[in-house]
Each structure stands twice: as structure tokens, then as C-alpha cells.
Amino acid sequence: MTTVWIYVYTSKEVGDVDHVKVFASQDVAEAWLKENDPEGVALEYEVLE
């Protein structure tokens, strides 16, 4: 099963290129969050094929 980590940047407008972030791993998501939104959370979702 392949998964991705998704973060919704609530301070951005819907449709803004930065509104949703998709990460390939938990480590990448955590590193980005630490630098850009320490209070934020990325959730894991299964990639459907």
C-alpha cells in the first residue's frame, strides 16, 4: 500500500497553489511542518490505483 501525507494550509485561499501540500513520507511532512507551521498536522492517506 502506498500512502501520502496531506496538509491543508488553512490561511491560504482554496485554489491557491499553496493551499494543499502533499508529501511522500512522514519525515518530509514533519520537516516541512517544523519549518513552516509547527502547530500544523499532516494526515496519512492511501493512494488509490
User: Which pLDDT band, with edges at 50, 70 and 90, does 12 fall under?
Assistant: confident
Residue 4 scores a pLDDT above 90: yes
- Cβ atoms of 4 and 43 within 8 Å: the answer is no
Residue 29's pLDDT is what? 97
Calculate mean pLDDT across residues 21-37. 96
Q: Using DSSP, state whether 45 is helix, strand or coil.
A: strand
Picking from 9, 12, 5, the residue whose alpha carbon sits closest to that of residue 42 is 5
- Cβ atoms of 25 and 2 within 8 Å: the answer is no
Q: Alpha carbon 31 to chain centroid distance?
A: 11
Residue 25 scores a pLDDT above 90: yes
Residue 1 scores a pLDDT above 90: no
Residue 20 scores a pLDDT above 90: yes
